[in-house]
Chain A
């Protein structure tokens, strides 16, 4: 089974630097998710994570808070934020995916490498989720977010089925379906929205392709590591069998170099995964959220249209009643007209508001995306540089050994 060395230091390093970038931007809040702890036994067991917030922002009651949260708490937070803000056109960062398989292994108590990996992957994902959430200026001030970060006791989120990442996705898809079923196609007066939607469609496709390629890379790099280790052993055996002393020594040294290189491959695979692959996965989910807000806008427009249709009907009804000599019904009709005029106005205001919000959100999203990618790519390239420099060291140490074969 491919081994995937847990290098907490390597991950911490990378993500602390990620955090620092944020600080340089006068964004004065640091969040870390750490110390996963298993609580309970068997199928009722769950993992609890330590969430540490360090900040000088005044909306927080203390400058350093540490709380314990479980996965469903995160999902609960996300579902609250989604229900509050998505319909206003805010891009709410999606929560990490649920995983029945992964969690079952952990619950059952398998202390093997794959469950350790799983927990680490989840811990990292939760951390990124919180960082993205607080980066959003409106969400940062949200009382649910503050409660999540500060409050020592949190009411347990119920029915997390609907609240999972997949659940939200279903919600978004339902909205999309509703949009598709609309008989009146939206008359897009604003070319910006049409253009942007197309761009996000394209981006979605490209990111998924990229993600698939990177997953392939991670897989192959792990294979390379296994095969290198295997070759190292074989080379050592060959060295033992070799009867020429100097050559035998050199082959043993070669085996040692290859073992060290195997370690490098493992560390690099780690970086491949946590820096690039997970980031891409995050963005694929984020794009879904972005597409979701566009659909919300369509829904809002549809509602506005429906209200206008209703108003028209009410006016027609009132006109008919003018000649019917039913003063009570006429009054009712006039009242209803006023009601629906109000609704139309509200609808138009909502539509304007959501359009404005989306423009702002998309601008912010794009700026962040560019920055995120740039930061991560730089980190990744630096990891590659480090790997290559180590390779140079190992091979340069081996060279005199090879030359010593006489």
Chain B
């Protein structure tokens, strides 16, 4: 069982978003996560001063599926149609390490140091993304009041039963809609509002660009990790070569072995850190905002549907007036459609504006942090390398 409750050498930075725990009235974090077989169990810790909660502090165990359940219930709540729904965290991906654990049974002592480190990294990433999801909800004036959200944070039993019931109730009607219809619908809308016209054009273009950038960043990060791995193998092999040679130059070779061990640290470990920091700050950032952009597009989609509904209700009203039948009903329907559309437009505008601000701040923070880390690692690497060169030259 792997746990990340001790985080000695890395500051716990909420990478993809600004500090969402600003409001002390509801503070959520995930201090610990256990990886057991193929399930990850998150410890969700809540501290609150809100009266709607029964206790001021909670600690509950949640699985990834519980987060998805929460996300889905929120998506399918009509009330929130005018809001950008925080994207669901992706499923934890432990393919490689998981297979290894299945084969070896329990105990991280049977995993190599590298495999264990990789597992830990994956765990940190997944905790981060689940945590941000909850914090987005808690920092939003409307979501934080959501009943299911409260259940998620408070309920001290397994949520499995609830999840099953929810599936039956909702049947996922929003999810079942063909997603490709989105773009057509959105771009087809005859937009009178300048703001939404701009937003629509921006989001459609940006979403494909950020998806591409994410994919390329992922490839780059993977290559970087491969290089770090190679250095690890090389320094191991060099060690063997130096150690296994019993010649007159034994003393010299022993010194070489010392240098090579140092090299393993300076080259391979540093490369690995550079690669994973780049992943955390850059790749994860891009991944997150790809999902968030999609959530913003979903909002536009819902608004476009509302507009379509309103236009249809207008046509229906005209028809009813012509026929002289059910006019009152048609008028009522039209009024409601307009109301819904106006509400979505108003709240949508606010959401999209704050979304842009949030995005800019997050990019700034992450780019700065990534750059500072890259500089730190490179400087560290330089001094270690120079130390090794000194030793080798002094022979």
Say whether B245 contacts A203, CB under 8 Å: yes
Assuming the contacts A216-B230, A395-B374, A402-B364, asked whether A230 and B219 have C-beta atoms less than 8 A apart, the reply is yes
Contacting residue for A217 out of B231, B244, B385, B388, CB 8 A = B231
Say whether A399 contacts B371, CB under 8 Å: yes
Which candidate, A204-212, A298-306, A311-319, is the interface stretch facing chain B? A204-212
Say whether A223 contacts B223, CB under 8 Å: yes
Query: A residues within 8 A CB of B195?
Result: none
Considering only CB atoms and an 8 Å cut-off, how many residues of chain B contact the other chain? 59
Assuming the contacts A385-B382, A391-B374, asked whether A231 and B216 have C-beta atoms less than 8 A apart, the reply is yes
Say whether A388 contacts B381, CB under 8 Å: yes
Q: How many inter-chain residue pairs (CB < 8 Å) link A and B?
A: 159
Which candidate, B10-18, B102-110, B149-157, B232-240, is the interface stretch facing chain A? B232-240
A381-399 near B? 1/0 per residue, CB < 8 Å: 1101100110110011011
C-alpha gap A214/B249 in the complex (Å): 25
A331 proximal to B (CB < 8 A): no
Closest Cβ–Cβ distance, residue B106 to chain A (whole Å): 31
Say whether A395 contacts B378, CB under 8 Å: yes
Say whether B216 contacts A391, CB under 8 Å: no
Closest Cβ–Cβ distance, residue A210 to chain B (whole Å): 4
Closest Cβ–Cβ distance, residue B256 to chain A (whole Å): 8
Say whether B212 contacts A213, CB under 8 Å: no
Say whether A381 contacts B230, CB under 8 Å: no
C-alpha gap A54/B356 in the complex (Å): 68
Closest Cβ–Cβ distance, residue B376 to chain A (whole Å): 10
A377 to B, closest residue via Cβ: B392
Please report which residues of chain B, range 246-277, place their CB below 8 angstroms from some CB of chain A when the two chains form the complex: 246-249, 252-253, 256, 263, 267
Say whether A228 contacts B220, CB under 8 Å: yes
Say whether B367 contacts A389, CB under 8 Å: no
Query: A residues within 8 A CB of B249?
Result: 366-367, 370
Contacting residue for A378 out of B215, B356, B393, CB 8 A = B393
B227 proximal to A (CB < 8 A): yes
Contacting residue for A231 out of B220, B253, B267, B359, CB 8 A = B220
Interface of B is mostly: helix
C-alpha gap A214/B233 in the complex (Å): 9
Closest Cβ–Cβ distance, residue A383 to chain B (whole Å): 10
Contacting residue for A202 out of B212, B226, B244, B359, CB 8 A = B244
B379 proximal to A (CB < 8 A): yes
A207 to B, closest residue via Cβ: B241
Closest Cβ–Cβ distance, residue A343 to chain B (whole Å): 36
B217 proximal to A (CB < 8 A): yes
Say whether A224 contacts B389, CB under 8 Å: no
B372 proximal to A (CB < 8 A): yes
Closest Cβ–Cβ distance, residue B304 to chain A (whole Å): 20
A241 proximal to B (CB < 8 A): yes
C-alpha gap A246/B227 in the complex (Å): 33
Query: B residues within 8 A CB of A241?
Result: 202, 205-206, 209-210
B375 proximal to A (CB < 8 A): yes
C-alpha gap A405/B363 in the complex (Å): 9
Contacting residue for A242 out of B206, B224, B263, CB 8 A = B206
Query: A residues within 8 A CB of B392?
Result: 374, 377-378, 381
Say whether B371 contacts A395, CB under 8 Å: yes
B308 proximal to A (CB < 8 A): no
Chain A interface size band reads 35 or more
A309 proximal to B (CB < 8 A): no
A230-244 near B? 1/0 per residue, CB < 8 Å: 110111011011111
Say whether B368 contacts A235, CB under 8 Å: no
A195 to B, closest residue via Cβ: B246
Query: B residues within 8 A CB of A399?
Result: 368, 371-372, 375
Please report which residues of chain B, range 188-225, place their CB below 8 angstroms from some CB of chain A when the two chains form the complex: 198, 202, 205-206, 209-210, 212-213, 215-217, 219-220, 222-224
Say whether B252 contacts A370, CB under 8 Å: yes
Please report which residues of chain A, range 242-294, place their CB below 8 angstroms from some CB of chain B when the two chains form the complex: 242-244, 246-247, 250-251, 254
B210, B220, B392: most-surrounded residue (chain A CB, <10 A)? B220
Query: A residues within 8 A CB of B213?
Result: 231, 234-235, 237-238
Say whether A213 contacts B227, CB under 8 Å: no
Contacting residue for B241 out of A206, A240, A242, A388, CB 8 A = A206
Contacting residue for B227 out of A224, A237, A251, A391, CB 8 A = A224
B366 to A, closest residue via Cβ: A402
C-alpha gap A235/B210 in the complex (Å): 8
Assuming the contacts A377-B392, A391-B374, asked whether A403 and B219 have C-beta atoms less than 8 A apart, the reply is no
Query: B residues within 8 A CB of A364?
Result: none
Assuming the contacts A210-B238, A242-B206, asked whether A395 and B375 have C-beta atoms less than 8 A apart, the reply is yes
Closest Cβ–Cβ distance, residue B318 to chain A (whole Å): 39
Say whether A244 contacts B356, CB under 8 Å: yes
A189 proximal to B (CB < 8 A): no
Contacting residue for B230 out of A220, A384, A388, A398, CB 8 A = A220
C-alpha gap A246/B367 in the complex (Å): 13
Say whether A203 contacts B395, CB under 8 Å: no
Query: A residues within 8 A CB of B364?
Result: 247, 250, 402-403, 405
Say whether A206 contacts B382, CB under 8 Å: no
Closest Cβ–Cβ distance, residue A400 to chain B (whole Å): 10
A199 proximal to B (CB < 8 A): yes
C-alpha gap A24/B368 in the complex (Å): 48
Please report which residues of chain A, range 349-392, place their CB below 8 angstroms from some CB of chain B when the two chains form the complex: 366-367, 370, 374, 377-378, 381-382, 384-385, 388-389, 391-392
Say whether B219 contacts A206, CB under 8 Å: no
Query: B residues within 8 A CB of A366?
Result: 247-249
Contacting residue for A392 out of B215, B240, B379, CB 8 A = B379
Contacting residue for B210 out of A238, A240, A388, CB 8 A = A238
A151 proximal to B (CB < 8 A): no
A220 to B, closest residue via Cβ: B226
B360 proximal to A (CB < 8 A): yes
Assuming the contacts A227-B220, A374-B395, asked whether A237 and B367 have C-beta atoms less than 8 A apart, the reply is no
B54 proximal to A (CB < 8 A): no
B252, B381, B395: most-surrounded residue (chain A CB, <10 A)? B381
Query: A residues within 8 A CB of B202?
Result: 241, 243
C-alpha gap A368/B267 in the complex (Å): 26
B386 proximal to A (CB < 8 A): yes
Say whether B389 contacts A247, CB under 8 Å: no
Query: A residues within 8 A CB of B267?
Result: 384
Say whether A384 contacts B206, CB under 8 Å: no
Assuming the contacts A224-B223, A391-B374, asked whether A378 and B389 have C-beta atoms less than 8 A apart, the reply is yes
Say whether B220 contacts A398, CB under 8 Å: no
Closest Cβ–Cβ distance, residue B393 to chain A (whole Å): 6
B202 to A, closest residue via Cβ: A243
Assuming the contacts A230-B216, A381-B388, A399-B368, asked whether A389 and B363 have C-beta atoms less than 8 A apart, the reply is no
Please report which residues of chain B, range 343-395, place their CB below 8 angstroms from some CB of chain A when the two chains form the complex: 356, 359-360, 363-364, 367-368, 371-372, 374-375, 378-379, 381-382, 385-386, 388-389, 392-393, 395
Contacting residue for A384 out of B212, B215, B216, B385, CB 8 A = B385
Can you list 17 A-B pairs, Cβ within 8 angstroms, ordered by A? A203-B244, A220-B227, A224-B224, A227-B216, A228-B223, A231-B217, A231-B220, A234-B217, A237-B209, A251-B363, A374-B256, A381-B385, A381-B389, A385-B385, A385-B386, A392-B375, A402-B371
5 cross-chain pairs, A with B, having the tightest CB-CB distances, nearest first? A224-B223, A217-B230, A405-B364, A231-B216, A402-B367
